[in-house]
């Protein structure tokens, strides 16, 4: 259709593409779905109760205040204070319709078509998609050796900065790698961004699924953090409410004012029911959240154990926060074909690494967190057979 032009060079969702192969699989082999990093368990009882109350109330279907419900702003400020040991006010928090929207709004606020954003590889596919849709050029920061380390290097990033650069993007813990970037490396990126008058955008969707309770970084301790840092958050995974579409931007008041202009055109405000659910979860489900995160970290331990022997030649490079980043052994096949064969012949559904890298480098993302111990054992057994 000649009317369509802007989206033609941008790929479709890799999750939807991968799921198309499911219909062709052997129906006698139970599907092991490692395609999405969304919790399969229901949300906390306190959240469900609050959602029912809101839905039945007079104002439950009305717009929320575009700057955010005060109760959520209070609850999230308290939660951030516990995580980072810093204080936050309402002007520094903007609820959004999920963390994807938070990124889109921020990227469009900070850049214009023709500008550039430094993006470590592998990247989260929706980040790359949105930048391209918005006419912004991703400048890819490649690792030196992805089997050795997938932590991005600030010194290598410095070589990519030019007069068109507007921001540096980090995702920690990483999607698709699961890698948690050490605080000192994040600090290095902050110093690089600040020295070049750039924004440092940090997507922290999976911060509560790290294997430590230490602060993810200490940037919020800096009195001038609002000059550089834009931190993105999600309540979807932490509270098992991905369909409620609620996330948040944490940034300086000036960023919030400008981001609200975009939000007003796109969605008016983050959904009221999602904001109410998030506020309830932050206030009333802290122990529940910690228990669920601990369970996912136990799954991580078992996933790493079953991958230790490189079943079928599949090699685990990194894992954490729902994800395993795995190199497949088939140099003679494109990764999309490998992923299709795994689904159709072995009932294993993952996402091809080509969704996260500019070229085919032989990677597959497996989201292990929704599988039981027995299913992870079966997953490794099927990989062993697939590699024969």
User: Rounded to two decimals, what is the model's pTM?
Assistant: 0.93
Confidence of residue 1 (pLDDT cuts 50, 70, 90): very low
Q: What pLDDT does 6 receive?
A: 64
Same CATH topology for 14-42+288-386 and 45-285: the answer is no
Q: How far is CA 153 from CA 141, 181, 204, 298, in A?
A: 8, 10, 18, 29
Q: Could you tell me which of 388, 312, 310, 382 has the C-alpha nearest to residue 347?
A: 382
Question: Looking at the domain that runs over 45-285, which CATH code has it been given?
Answer: 3.40.640.10
Q: What pLDDT does 265 receive?
A: 92
Q: What pLDDT does 349 receive?
A: 94
Angstrom distance (rounded) from CA 22 to CA 344:
7
Q: Where are the domains of the chain?
A: 14-42+288-386, 45-285
Q: Is a pLDDT exceeding 50 seen at residue 63? A: yes
Q: Phi and psi for 220 in degrees, rounded to 5?
A: -75, -10
Mean pLDDT is lowest, of 9-23, 43-57, 372-386, for 9-23
pLDDT per residue as tens digits for the range 89-127: 999 999 999 999 999 999 999 999 999 999 999 999 999
Q: Could you tell me which of 216, 211, 250 has the C-alpha nearest to residue 234?
A: 250
Q: Is a pLDDT exceeding 90 seen at residue 81? A: yes
Confidence of residue 4 (pLDDT cuts 50, 70, 90): low
Instruction: Lay out the sheet containing 229-234: strands in order across.
Output: 93-96, 247-250, 229-234, 199-203, 165-171, 116-120, 137-141
Confidence of residue 7 (pLDDT cuts 50, 70, 90): low
pLDDT per residue as tens digits for the range 219-260: 999 999 999 999 999 999 999 999 899 999 999 999 999 999
Q: Which residue has the higher pLDDT, 17 or 89?
A: 89
% of the chain at pLDDT higher than 90: 84
CATH class of the 14-42+288-386 domain in this structure: alpha beta
CA angle 217, 220, 224 (to 5 degrees): 130
Angstrom distance (rounded) from CA 325 to CA 199:
28
Angstrom distance (rounded) from CA 355 to CA 283:
36
pLDDT per residue as tens digits for the range 125-160: 999 999 999 999 999 999 999 999 999 999 999 999
Q: Is a pLDDT exceeding 80 seen at residue 23? A: no
Q: How far is CA 56 from CA 52, 59, 269, 330, 379, in A?
A: 6, 8, 20, 55, 43
Confidence of residue 13 (pLDDT cuts 50, 70, 90): confident
């Amino acid at each position: 259709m000649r009317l369509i032009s802007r989206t033609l060079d941008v790929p479709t969702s890799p999750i939807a593409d991968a799921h198309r192969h499911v219909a062709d699989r052997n129906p006698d082999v139970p599907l092991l779905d490692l395609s999405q990093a969304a919790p399969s368990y229901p949300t906390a009882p306190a959240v469900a109760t609050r959602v029912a109350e809101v839905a039945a109330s007079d104002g439950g279907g009305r717009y929320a205040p575009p700057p955010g419900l005060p109760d959520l702003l209070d609850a999230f400020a308290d939660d951030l204070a516990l995580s980072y040991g810093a204080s936050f006010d309402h002007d520094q928090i903007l609820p959004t319709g999920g963390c994807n929207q938070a990124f889109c709004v921020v990227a469009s606020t900070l850049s214009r078509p023709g500008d550039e954003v430094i993006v470590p590889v592998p990247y989260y596919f929706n980040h790359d998609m949105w930048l391209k849709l918005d006419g912004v050029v991703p400048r890819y920061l490649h690792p030196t050796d992805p089997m050795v380390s997938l932590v991005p290097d600030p010194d290598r990033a410095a070589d990519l900065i030019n007069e068109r650069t507007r921001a540096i993007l980090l995702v920690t813990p990483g999607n698709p790698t699961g890698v948690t970037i050490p605080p000192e490396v994040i600090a290095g990126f902050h110093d690089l961004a600040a020295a070049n008058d750039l924004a440092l955008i940090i997507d922290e969707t999976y911060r509560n699924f790290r294997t430590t309770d230490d602060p993810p970084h200490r940037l919020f301790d800096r009195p001038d953090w609002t000059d550089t840092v834009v931190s993105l958050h999600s309540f979807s995974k932490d509270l098992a409410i991905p369909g409620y579409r609620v996330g948040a931007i944490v940034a300086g008041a000036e960023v919030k004012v400008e981001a609200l202009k975009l939000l007003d055109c796109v969605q008016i405000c983050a959904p009221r029911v999602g904001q109410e659910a998030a506020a309830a979860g932050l206030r009333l489900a802290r122990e529940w959240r910690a228990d669920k995160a601990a369970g996912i970290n136990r799954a991580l331990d078992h996933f790493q154990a079953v991958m230790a022997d490189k079943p079928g030649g599949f090699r685990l490079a990194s894992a954490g926060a729902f994800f395993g980043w795995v190199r497949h052994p088939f140099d003679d096949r494109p990764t999309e074909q490998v992923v299709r064969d795994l689904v159709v012949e072995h009932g294993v559904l993952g996402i091809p690494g080509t969704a996260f890298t500019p070229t085919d480098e032989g990677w597959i993302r497996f989201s292990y967190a929704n599988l039981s111990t027995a299913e992870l054992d079966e997953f490794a057994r099927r990989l062993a057979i697939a590699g024969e």
